[in-house]
């Protein structure tokens, strides 16, 4: 330390000629102690600062502080801490003297930091004019939090986070103020410690038995939630415009813990670990073996009774089936279906010595398990006045509730800061590296037509066993049905297919901040983000899936490198008590480089090699690619404050991206906003408001969510464009993309007005916000006027409007020495409307899954309607013949009295809306003696969900192919021979209330520990304890998967529920120790 403090100035003194160190003036100091008004206990980690100057420090463990080198005169001392109302106190400094100031902090309703990270710097909370939500890392880190996204869920108004499914390590859909883009990305921009993160998949896609794409993992899997100090969400244009072109979907700023605020300054060690048990919270409820056997035999009985008369009446059509004599429709099952029940085994030497063993297999139980997760964090922090560090380690192993499925993370992080030249030069370094390992199973979203374990759980005949003894070898093998299409033993699928994804990602950034003159700071920030992802897959010959390829091995890699450079100049001036000025100007350059390489082999002699030797295959295919892009920006933000009452902010950002067409690569994104702290006005004094502030803002944001080269005409050697001349395939090179010389940013103009309030000394506080977002020049795949190389190209057309109301209330309901109760409520209502679709009258989206559902779409994007509008025939009833009857218009064929059995396109109408009327989040913390009790409840009201699972498995027709179905179909009147037809019948209301988390924490007084441990806390936590809903499917909360390669881009489809990986119910027990 001494070395830095003394040698560095010497080294630089030749360069920095007039360096003057140390204070020669007549100065004084202030010392004192901060205590909690309720408990009268000392408060550590309180920031004590001289208003309008950077002179500040954090109180020590005993609540004490000392600020020295203060000029003589009157100063305003400000004490702020998360969870307390800030306190101001005037002090008078005399030359050479030390004054004492003791400060008492009153707990506040909301846990708010005084200084908010707002992008390229921080702002005082009072000065913020945009819409910003902040979440305290420690307060939100309860229960099984394996991803930072979990910490935001239900805690910020207008932020919707839906886990894609219950798979460990699964990604989540994050929407800030709704999705505004129809086909470009709707994901927010993530900024970790000031460096924007490239939110691109880090792991190569799976093979998918049938070729379906996998769901991408969240980029935040990289971060250990315990390292998060705070999360700031920038919602409106005034707040996000500083991020310009990448900000249309909002910005999530994550600040990680620094050495200084780990444990109140001094060195400390923290350990935090938990063990969790998870199991599926709800089951599909398909027939068990006994139920299926009863059903099948019953249907065969029906068949027999109908047959005689029918065959007499219509002999020509009675060759191998029988007709129902009344309706001319088939009834029941032919007796041959009895052969599909169980196994015929030999019981004696004679040919007739056989018996049928009908098994009673619960495939869901066979596939699922009680999964164990354990997680360990160890961190230590320390340092002195000038150099501080914090290091942390995390290990997490999470089992999936489905067998053969797990997520593992090992992560390390180092943060170091150093101050030199009397705190005028501040250096910082953050390095995070993580290794994640996913053990995948092939489920619906990743597995395609026949690889899905959950589909097979639903359909696999429950009268069949999981394993049989192979008569030739005498060994136990998985039982597989022969001669069945797309029906595989799900237990075998899970166990036999190897699919492992591993990613190593390192994120490093270094900053140097130098105070040039008073209030003027220059900063350079360099960040590197590198990820290497590998995916290894083997489909063995032992599995019927792999057998069709003779064994298939695949090794693929995906690398991403992002380099970011920022240079910033910040000017902060407080001119007396009247004017304050806060200006940031800067430049940012980012370079993205991503490449992939895949080797795939088919046809192996043995399964022994797994994926390790693709080269041993009969046929090998390789594919690879690389993409580069760059982004450049110049930006500035000025915040002017008058009398700490009126604030005005202006933002300008000039952004360039290589991904757009020549001449359209650059765009300007401005924003202006202002706020008025009404409560500071003299006339508002003593009106009960401790805080009342009006804010309004308007600005433009861009969406660059297009792949590189989107505007260029490119040609590709395409395997499908090969053509055999003389029997030998010649490689075909075809233009695959038409040039679009006018491709540019998708642009969102957002208007925001808000009222922040606080009364009863901020024991109740919150805000009410209203916004309107108009998105234009939508990036849409638009059909080309033919002839063209591709049927569609990315074009800027159309408009979408989002409007919304957000209300948040935080209250400190009770505050007693041994009992405090805080509660917070967030409410959001959003309305989305497609205003214009350019040349389109409508766009079909939301592919319906299942047999016989090719080219069927559940939703339409229609002008005048929200994105997520269900569109199809309106179901009326099931008639006496077991046929589905639909409403129709007179003009369509087969329409009698407004009813039709086979609806046509004319009869399709709007049959539902996937968007909720409103969402609610209620979080509460009770501190009672040594107990801390917290819970989080989320609710979503008014949305519809298309239960695709019920469409496919909710009627009996699967039994025609000896497949199982849902128990609910037993009482359903739909005939067994009726095809599954998408209609309003399968679109259900899906309002829900979910107890997301309940945690009870106890502070231990262990005599043995009290000597060494500063605190020890034990907790028990339950996640997803219950869901109240009328929805009949597995889970009413459905991720908005788009139809397209990347669920975060591609045409938006919302709320389609098809055999998703069940969300687990989890019980966690944990321990937090601080030494």
- Footprint on residues 609-648 left by other proteins (CB under 8 A): 624-630, 632, 634
CA-CA distance, 429 to 418, in Å (whole number)? Answer: 9
Residue 474 or 724 with smaller CB distance to other proteins? 724
Residues 6+ apart with CB under 8 A from 651: 238, 241, 242, 635, 636, 637, 638, 669, 670, 671, 672, 699
| From 2, 3, 10, 25, residue interacting with other proteins (rule: CB under 8 A) | 25
Confirm or reject binding of residue 926 to other proteins (CB under 8 A).
Answer: no
Residue 100 or 786 with smaller CB distance to other proteins? 786
Candidates 10-18, 99-107, 108-116, 253-261: pick the segment binding other proteins (CB under 8 A).
Answer: 10-18
Confirm or reject binding of residue 980 to other proteins (CB under 8 A).
Answer: yes
Nearest Cα residue to 254 out of 186, 199, 195? 195
| From 2, 10, 15, 890, residue interacting with other proteins (rule: CB under 8 A) | 15
Nearest Cα residue to 296 out of 980, 954, 976, 851? 976
CB neighbours of residue 485 within 10 Å: 9
Confirm or reject binding of residue 836 to other proteins (CB under 8 A).
Answer: no
Confirm or reject binding of residue 839 to other proteins (CB under 8 A).
Answer: yes
Nearest Cα residue to 464 out of 451, 476, 481, 483? 481
CA-CA distance, 118 to 124, in Å (whole number)? Answer: 9
Write out the two tokens for 828: 């959001």
The least distance separating other proteins from the CB of residue 885, rounded to whole angstroms, comes to: 14
Residues 521-580 that bind other proteins (CB under 8 A): 522, 524, 548, 565, 567, 569, 576
Candidates 263-271, 427-435, 671-679, 900-908: pick the segment binding other proteins (CB under 8 A).
Answer: 900-908
CA-CA distance, 829 to 807, in Å (whole number)? Answer: 9
Residues 62-81 that bind other proteins (CB under 8 A): 69, 71, 73, 75
Residue 605 or 715 with smaller CB distance to other proteins? 715
* CA–CA distances in Å: residue 744 to residues 249, 257, 779, 789: 17, 38, 8, 21
Confirm or reject binding of residue 339 to other proteins (CB under 8 A).
Answer: yes
CA-CA distance, 470 to 449, in Å (whole number)? Answer: 28
DSSP secondary structure string for all residues of 48-98: EEETTSS-EEE--TTSEEEEEEEESEEEEEEEE-TTB--EEEEEEE-TT-E
Residues 499-518 that bind other proteins (CB under 8 A): 514-518
| Residues touching other proteins, count (CB under 8 A) | 139
Confirm or reject binding of residue 309 to other proteins (CB under 8 A).
Answer: no
Residue 689 or 982 with smaller CB distance to other proteins? 982
DSSP secondary structure string for all residues of 1009-1031: HHTT-SEEEEEEEEEEEEEEE--
Confirm or reject binding of residue 337 to other proteins (CB under 8 A).
Answer: yes
Residue 732 or 929 with smaller CB distance to other proteins? 732
Confirm or reject binding of residue 88 to other proteins (CB under 8 A).
Answer: no
| From 213, 636, 656, 863, residue interacting with other proteins (rule: CB under 8 A) | 656
Residues 959-978 that bind other proteins (CB under 8 A): 960-962, 977-978
CB neighbours of residue 270 within 10 Å: 21
| From 982, 986, 1019, 1031, residue interacting with other proteins (rule: CB under 8 A) | 982
The least distance separating other proteins from the CB of residue 667, rounded to whole angstroms, comes to: 12
Write out the two tokens for 811: 């209250």
Candidates 110-118, 221-229, 554-562, 715-723: pick the segment binding other proteins (CB under 8 A).
Answer: 715-723
Confirm or reject binding of residue 713 to other proteins (CB under 8 A).
Answer: yes
CA-CA distance, 333 to 302, in Å (whole number)? Answer: 8
Confirm or reject binding of residue 809 to other proteins (CB under 8 A).
Answer: no
Residue 589 or 770 with smaller CB distance to other proteins? 589
Phi-psi region of 157 (alpha: psi -120 to 50; beta: other; left: phi over 0): beta
Candidates 253-261, 726-734, 863-871, 1025-1033: pick the segment binding other proteins (CB under 8 A).
Answer: 726-734
| From 979, 1014, 1071, 1074, residue interacting with other proteins (rule: CB under 8 A) | 979
The least distance separating other proteins from the CB of residue 707, rounded to whole angstroms, comes to: 11
The least distance separating other proteins from the CB of residue 139, rounded to whole angstroms, comes to: 33
Candidates 407-415, 761-769, 849-857, 1013-1021: pick the segment binding other proteins (CB under 8 A).
Answer: 849-857
Coil, strand or helix at 473: coil
Residue 539 CA, distance from chain mean position: 30
Confirm or reject binding of residue 340 to other proteins (CB under 8 A).
Answer: yes
Residues 728-747 that bind other proteins (CB under 8 A): 728-735, 738
Positive or negative, the CA dihedral 702, 706, 707, 711 is: negative
The least distance separating other proteins from the CB of residue 24, rounded to whole angstroms, comes to: 10
Q: Tell me how many helices (H) and strands (E) the chain has.
A: 13, 57
Confirm or reject binding of residue 791 to other proteins (CB under 8 A).
Answer: yes
Residues 387-426 that bind other proteins (CB under 8 A): 421-424
| From 40, 100, 475, 854, residue interacting with other proteins (rule: CB under 8 A) | 854
Distance from the first to the final alpha carbon of the chain: 24
The least distance separating other proteins from the CB of residue 34, rounded to whole angstroms, comes to: 22
Residue 52 or 382 with smaller CB distance to other proteins? 52
The least distance separating other proteins from the CB of residue 897, rounded to whole angstroms, comes to: 19
The least distance separating other proteins from the CB of residue 739, rounded to whole angstroms, comes to: 8
Confirm or reject binding of residue 485 to other proteins (CB under 8 A).
Answer: yes
Confirm or reject binding of residue 725 to other proteins (CB under 8 A).
Answer: yes
Specify whether the CB–CB gap between 665 and 714 falls below 8 A: no
Residue 412 or 595 with smaller CB distance to other proteins? 595
CB neighbours of residue 370 within 10 Å: 12
Candidates 208-216, 324-332, 494-502, 928-936: pick the segment binding other proteins (CB under 8 A).
Answer: 324-332
The least distance separating other proteins from the CB of residue 17, rounded to whole angstroms, comes to: 5
The least distance separating other proteins from the CB of residue 308, rounded to whole angstroms, comes to: 17
Specify whether the CB–CB gap between 425 and 411 falls below 8 A: no
Residue 439 or 480 with smaller CB distance to other proteins? 480
Nearest Cα residue to 415 out of 504, 506, 522, 510? 510
Write out the two tokens for 92: 């008078």
Residues 667-686 that bind other proteins (CB under 8 A): none
Strands (E), 784-917: 792-796, 799-816, 819-836, 843-847, 857-861, 869-872, 875-878, 884-887, 899-900, 909-913
Confirm or reject binding of residue 353 to other proteins (CB under 8 A).
Answer: no
The least distance separating other proteins from the CB of residue 1050, rounded to whole angstroms, comes to: 17
Confirm or reject binding of residue 473 to other proteins (CB under 8 A).
Answer: no
Candidates 247-255, 348-356, 721-729, 818-826: pick the segment binding other proteins (CB under 8 A).
Answer: 721-729
Residues in the chain, how many? 1075
The least distance separating other proteins from the CB of residue 366, rounded to whole angstroms, comes to: 23
CB neighbours of residue 320 within 10 Å: 7
Confirm or reject binding of residue 328 to other proteins (CB under 8 A).
Answer: yes
CA-CA distance, 468 to 495, in Å (whole number)? Answer: 16
Confirm or reject binding of residue 785 to other proteins (CB under 8 A).
Answer: yes
CA-CA distance, 278 to 1029, in Å (whole number)? Answer: 21
Strands (E), 153-310: 159-163, 172-176, 189-192, 195-197, 228-234, 251-256, 268-280
| From 31, 39, 53, 122, residue interacting with other proteins (rule: CB under 8 A) | 53
* CA–CA distances in Å: residue 858 to residues 397, 638, 847, 1056: 38, 48, 6, 8
Confirm or reject binding of residue 23 to other proteins (CB under 8 A).
Answer: yes
């Amino acid at each position: 330390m001494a070395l830095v403090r003394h040698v560095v100035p010497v080294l630089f003194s030749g360069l920095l000629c007039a360096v003057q160190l140390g204070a020669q003036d007549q100065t004084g100091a202030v010392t004192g102690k901060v205590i909690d008004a309720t408990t009268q206990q000392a408060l550590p980690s309180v920031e004590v600062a001289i208003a309008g100057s950077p002179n500040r420090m954090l109180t020590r463990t005993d609540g004490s502080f000392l600020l020295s080198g203060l000029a003589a005169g009157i100063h305003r001392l400000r004490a702020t801490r998360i969870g307390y109302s800030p306190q101001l106190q005037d002090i008078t400094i005399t030359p050479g003297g030390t004054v004492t100031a003791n400060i008492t902090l009153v707990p506040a309703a909301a846990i708010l930091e005084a200084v908010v990270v707002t992008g390229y710097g921080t702002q005082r909370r009072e000065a913020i004019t945009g819409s910003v939500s902040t979440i305290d890392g420690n307060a939100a880190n309860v229960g099984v939090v394996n991803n930072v996204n979990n910490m935001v869920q239900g805690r910020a108004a207008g932020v919707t986070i839906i886990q894609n499914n219950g798979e460990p390590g699964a990604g989540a859909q994050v929407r800030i103020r709704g999705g505004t883009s129809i086909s470009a990305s709707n994901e927010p921009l993530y900024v970790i410690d000031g460096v924007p993160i490239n939110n691109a998949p880090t792991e190569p896609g799976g093979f998918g038995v049938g070729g379906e794409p996998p769901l991408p993992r969240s980029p935040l899997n990289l971060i250990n939630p315990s390292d998060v100090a705070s999360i700031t969400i920038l919602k409106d244009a005034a707040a996000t415009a500083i991020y310009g072109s990448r900000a249309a979907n909002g910005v999530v700023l994550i600040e990680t813990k620094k050495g200084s605020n780990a444990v109140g300054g001094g060195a400390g060690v923290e350990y935090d670990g938990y063990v969790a048990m998870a199991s599926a919270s709800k089951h599909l409820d398909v027939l068990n073996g006994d139920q299926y056997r009863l059903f099948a035999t019953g249907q065969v009985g029906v068949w027999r009774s109908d047959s005689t008369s029918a065959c007499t009446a219509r002999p020509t059509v009675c060759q191998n089936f029988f007709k129902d004599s009344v309706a001319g429709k088939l009834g029941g099952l032919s007796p041959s279906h009895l052969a599909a029940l169980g196994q015929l085994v030999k019981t004696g030497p004679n040919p007739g010595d056989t018996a049928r063993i009908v098994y009673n297999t619960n495939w869901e139980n066979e596939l699922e398990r009680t999964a164990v997760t354990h997680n360990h964090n160890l961190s230590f922090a320390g340092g002195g006045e000038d150099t501080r560090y914090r290091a942390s380690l995390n290990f997490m192993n999470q089992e999936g509730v489905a067998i053969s499925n797990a997520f593992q993370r090992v992560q390390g992080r180092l943060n170091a800061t150093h101050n030199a030249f009397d705190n005028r030069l501040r250096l910082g370094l953050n390095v995070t590296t993580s290794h994640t390992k996913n053990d995948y199973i092939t489920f619906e979203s990743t597995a395609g037509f026949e690889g899905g374990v959950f589909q097979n759980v639903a359909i696999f005949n429950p009268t069949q066993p999981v394993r049989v003894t192979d008569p030739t070898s005498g060994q136990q093998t998985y039982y597989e049905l022969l001669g069945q299409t797309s029906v595989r033993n799900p237990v075998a699928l899970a166990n036999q297919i190897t699919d492992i994804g591993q990613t190593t990602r390192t994120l490093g950034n270094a900053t140097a901040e130098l105070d040039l003159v008073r209030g003027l700071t220059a900063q350079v920030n360099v960040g590197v983000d590198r990820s290497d992802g590998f995916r290894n897959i083997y489909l063995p010959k032992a599995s019927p899936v792999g057998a069709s390829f003779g064994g298939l091995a695949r090794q693929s890699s995906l690398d991403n490198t992002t380099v970011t450079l920022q240079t910033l100049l910040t000017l902060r001036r407080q001119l007396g008590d009247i004017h304050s000025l806060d200006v940031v100007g800067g430049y940012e350059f980012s370079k993205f480089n991503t490449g992939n390489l895949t080797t795939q082999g088919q046809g192996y002699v043995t399964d022994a090699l797994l994926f390790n030797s693709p080269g041993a295959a009969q046929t090998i295919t390789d594919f690879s690619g690389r993409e580069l892009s760059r982004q450049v920006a110049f930006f500035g933000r000025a915040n002017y404050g008058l009398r700490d009452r009126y604030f005005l902010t202006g933002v300008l950002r000039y952004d360039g991206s290589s991904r757009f067409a020549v001449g359209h690569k650059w765009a300007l994104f401005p924003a202006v906003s202002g706020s008025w702290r009404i409560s500071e006005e003299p006339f508002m004094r003593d009106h009960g408001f401790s805080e009342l502030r009006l804010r309004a803002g308007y600005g433009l944001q861009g969406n660059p969510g297009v792949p590189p080269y989107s505007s260029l005409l490119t040609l590709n050697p395409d395997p499908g464009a090969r053509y055999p001349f003389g029997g030998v395939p010649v490689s075909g090179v075809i233009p695959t993309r038409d040039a679009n010389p006018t491709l540019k940013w998708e642009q969102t103009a957002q208007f925001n007005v808000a009222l922040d309030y606080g009364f009863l000394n901020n024991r109740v506080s919150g805000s009410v916000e209203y916004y309107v977002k108009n998105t234009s020049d939508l990036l849409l795949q638009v059909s080309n006027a033919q002839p063209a190389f591709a049927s569609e190209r990315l074009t800027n057309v159309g408009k979408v409007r989002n409007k919304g109301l957000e209300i948040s209330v935080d209250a400190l309901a009770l505050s007693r020495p041994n009992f405090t109760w805080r509660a917070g409520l967030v409410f959001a209502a959003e309305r989305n409307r497609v205003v214009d679709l350019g040349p389109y009258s409508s766009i079909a989206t939301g592919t319906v899954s299942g047999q016989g559902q090719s080219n069927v779409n559940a939703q339409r994007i229609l002008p005048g309607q929200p994105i997520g509008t269900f569109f199809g025939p309106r179901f009326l009833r099931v008639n006496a013949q077991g046929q589905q009857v639909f409403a129709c218009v007179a003009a369509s064929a087969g329409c009698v009295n407004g009813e039709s059995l086979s609806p046509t396109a004319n009869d399709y109408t709007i049959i539902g809306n996937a968007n909720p009327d409103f969402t609610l989040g209620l979080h509460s913390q009770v501190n009672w003696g040594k107990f801390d009790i917290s819970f989080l409840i989320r609710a979503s009201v008014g949305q519809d969900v298309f239960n695709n699972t019920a469409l496919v498995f909710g009627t009996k027709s699967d039994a025609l192919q000896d497949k199982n179905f849902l128990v609910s179909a037993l009482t359903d009147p739909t005939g067994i021979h009726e095809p599954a037809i998408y209609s309003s019948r399968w679109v259900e209301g899906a309002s829900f209330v979910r107890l997301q988390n309940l945690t009870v924490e106890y502070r231990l007084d262990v005599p043995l520990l009290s000597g060494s441990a500063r605190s020890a806390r034990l907790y028990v936590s339950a996640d997803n304890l219950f869901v109240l809903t009328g929805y009949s499917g597995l889970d009413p909360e459905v991720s908005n998967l788009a139809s397209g390669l990347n669920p975060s881009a591609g045409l938006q489809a919302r709320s389609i529920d098809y055999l998703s990986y069940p969300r687990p119910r989890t019980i966690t027990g944990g321990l937090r120790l601080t030494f």
